[in-house]
Amino acid sequence: MQNPKSKYEDIKLISQLGYGGFSTVWKAQVKSTNEIVAVKKVSNEYTQKAALEISVLRRCKHKNIIKYFHTFSKDGEIWIIMEYCAGGSLADLIKKKSLNEKQIAYISREVLEGIEFLHSLNIIHRDIKASNILLTEDGQPKISDFGVSVWMSSEEKKQYTQIGTPLWMAPELITKQGYDQKIDIWSFGITLIELAEKNPPYSNLHSVQAVMLISKNPPPQLTANVWSKEFQYFVSLCLIKLPSLRAKAQDLLKESFVKNVKDQSNEIKELISFPLSDSFTVDESKSTLESTVDPDDVLSNHFSYDLHEFDEDEKKDLIIDLGALCEDPSLIQENLAIFKKNEETNQKNEDDEEEHQISIQIPRKIKIDFDLLDKHELQTILEAQTESMQKVIKNIQIKYEEFLKPIQEAIKKK
């Protein structure tokens, strides 16, 4: 008997919606039904990331979370088939339109219900922001992009991996104190400011500077006087720096700001009725489904920044602050030595990136519960991982042969 989901393997790609560090996202059509879907194509080199996202999506059947349909392997990539949201992301929307307080309250309630559902499953999204909240054609908000999400087992109390998009990151995540689901609430609060004022706090600063200010400064607030005290209070509940005092999703849903709001989907639908293209481009996310992995914007395995942007004193301060942030004294000494060398020689070669870059490696472990995947998905992941490993082995063999060749030629001459 044919798997009913196999229809998703016979699809026609229509247009590319966006791209990230390890995947591309496409608008596509199922040939047998003409259904429009979104396809996330993940390189086989990132099989673990794909498996993690699939395992999370399979569990998340909720009206405010993007629907997952099917997974298969094709052309050296894992294809993840998901719901297509024709309205684009909230980040797309606020670039063209302004939201009033009622509309923000409605979006807040819908997104919070999705977050509450995720947290009930011990899932942390870790990248809540306007570009990761999509809108259906009918104005229904949907949480998307689970590429950096994590599932916490009952034994785990805290996570320590430093990952996310800096401007939306919670202080406890930045300072590596250990965190739980409450970091999503902080990101949600920053997203509310983003929706109200079209940009998150510190958006005018370099991401590394912003990260340090987030951890040191008091919580940000709504700056415009046009917003009600009720809205301002609601935001303040999300942005309490001490995680133990920060509100939970279920508590926020009891607040009058969202509790009494009427359905605004028709109003949202009117806002998104502007001509839609097949490519949505926003600041941090060139995809309506996934965050662009930019080494200057995303703290995951690695980030770097250009020392040319700062004066001599700022360079020293940033090197020391970054070393302290990552709790790595050797990093401070290493980069100060590079700085001193550049200072002494006074050589500022614009083309020499290595002399002017600070790079920080942050180890990251991906935990996947393979029991959550069905047999077909497991087979897809296995095939993709095997193919990826074979490429690695082949590359090693080629390099090994290149290394041996001159030695063998030298031996023949003897």
Q: What is the pLDDT at residue 313?
A: 57
Conformation bin of residue 310: beta by default, left when phi > 0, alpha when psi is -120 to 50: beta
The contacts of residue 51 (CB under 8 Å, 6+ apart) are: 368, 370, 373, 377, 381
**Of 271, 292, 326, at which residue does a domain stop?**
271
Task: Tell me, yes or no, whether 406 lies in a domain.
Answer: no
Task: Tell me, yes or no, whether 399 lies in a domain.
Answer: no
Return the higher-pLDDT residue of 321 and 21: 21
Residue 138 reports pLDDT greater than 80: yes
Reported as a single tens digit per residue, the pLDDT across 339-372 is 555 555 554 444 443 334 433 333 344 556 666 6
One domain for residues 102 and 169 = yes
Reported as a single tens digit per residue, the pLDDT across 52-95 is 889 889 889 999 999 999 999 888 899 999 999 999 999 999 99
Return the higher-pLDDT residue of 378 and 126: 126
One domain for residues 142 and 215 = yes
One domain for residues 257 and 164 = yes
One domain for residues 233 and 328 = no
One domain for residues 267 and 122 = yes
CATH of the domain at 234: 1.10.510.10
One domain for residues 142 and 210 = yes
Instruction: Categorize the per-residue pLDDT at 199 as very low, low, confident or very high, splitting at 50, 70 and 90.
Output: very high
- Rounded percentage of the chain residues whose pLDDT exceeds 90: 47
Q: What is the DSSP letter of 307?
A: G
Which of 160-164, 257-261, 284-288, 388-392 is predicted most confidently?
Answer: 257-261
Instruction: Categorize the per-residue pLDDT at 28 as very low, low, confident or very high, splitting at 50, 70 and 90.
Output: very high
One domain for residues 95 and 224 = yes
Task: Tell me, yes or no, whether 194 lies in a domain.
Answer: yes
Task: Tell me, yes or no, whether 243 lies in a domain.
Answer: yes
Beta strands in 115-154 (DSSP E): 123-124, 133-135, 141-143, 150-151
Q: What is the pLDDT at residue 99?
A: 96
Do 178 and 171 meet the contact criterion of CB atoms below 8 Å apart? no
Mean pLDDT of 248-262: 95
User: How many domains does the chain divide into?
Assistant: 3
The contacts of residue 405 (CB under 8 Å, 6+ apart) are: none
Mark 61-73 as b/e (b = at least 16 C-beta within 10 Å).
Answer: ebebbbbbbbbbb
Instruction: Categorize the per-residue pLDDT at 407 as very low, low, confident or very high, splitting at 50, 70 and 90.
Output: confident
One domain for residues 41 and 126 = no
One domain for residues 140 and 245 = yes
Task: Tell me, yes or no, whether 153 lies in a domain.
Answer: yes
Mean pLDDT of 100-114: 97
Q: What is the pLDDT at residue 360?
A: 37
Task: Tell me, yes or no, whether 353 lies in a domain.
Answer: no
* Catalytically annotated residue among 92, 127, 145, 184: 127
Do 219 and 232 meet the contact criterion of CB atoms below 8 Å apart? no
Task: Tell me, yes or no, whether 117 lies in a domain.
Answer: yes
Residue 139 reports pLDDT greater than 90: yes
What angle (nearest 5°) sits at the alpha carbon of residue 164, between those of residues 147 and 115? 70
CA quadruple 116, 118, 123, 127: dihedral positive or negative?
negative
Q: What is the pLDDT at residue 394?
A: 73
Domain that holds residue 210: 90-271
Largest CA distance in the chain: 89
Task: Tell me, yes or no, whether 293 lies in a domain.
Answer: no
One domain for residues 118 and 102 = yes
One domain for residues 167 and 37 = no
| CA–CA distance, 230 with 235 (Å, rounded to integer) | 9
Instruction: Categorize the per-residue pLDDT at 231 as very low, low, confident or very high, splitting at 50, 70 and 90.
Output: very high
Mean pLDDT of 186-213: 94
297 catalytically annotated: no
Which of 1-5, 150-154, 158-162, 258-262 is predicted most confidently?
Answer: 258-262
399 is in an annotated binding site: no
Residue 236 reports pLDDT greater than 80: yes
| CA–CA distance, 295 with 130 (Å, rounded to integer) | 20
One domain for residues 128 and 105 = yes
User: pLDDT averaged over the chain?
Assistant: 79
For 347, list phi and psi in degrees, rounded to 5. Answer: -105, 115
Mean pLDDT of 21-43: 91
CATH of the domain at 74: 3.30.200.20
Do 197 and 232 meet the contact criterion of CB atoms below 8 Å apart? no
